[in-house]
């Protein structure tokens, strides 16, 4: 929930005015066209291409942290329990 405002107010404008605009230039098409194609969505494809490794690094760094281990442990403790009907 905390990431929603960050993505809306920070990542959105970066994507709209930076990455998507870059992919509409000749330099962007030349550099990433072989990977992302020539369609209308190549700018947002670049956003996802860059966001994937960032998220992977973030998740990998979160694994050893205490809050993640506590949350994971809470799910493990409740894994066998069923909700009453």
- Predicted pLDDT of residue 1: 65
- The total number of residues shown for the chain amounts to 85
> Is this prediction's pTM over 0.75?
no
**Which residues in the chain come in under a pLDDT of 70?**
1, 79-85
- Predicted pLDDT of residue 71: 83
- Please, what is the angle between helix 26-36 and helix 42-62, to 10°? 70
- Predicted pLDDT of residue 38: 85
């Amino acid at each position: 929930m905390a990431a929603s405002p960050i993505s809306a107010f920070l990542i959105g404008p970066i994507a709209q005015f930076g990455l998507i605009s870059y992919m509409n230039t000749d330099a962007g098409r030349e550099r990433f066209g072989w990977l992302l194609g020539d369609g209308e969505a190549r700018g947002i494809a670049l956003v996802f291409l860059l966001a994937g490794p960032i998220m992977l690094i973030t998740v990998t760094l979160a694994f050893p942290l205490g809050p993640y281990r506590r949350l994971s442990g809470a799910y493990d403790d409740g894994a066998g329990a069923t909700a009453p009907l």
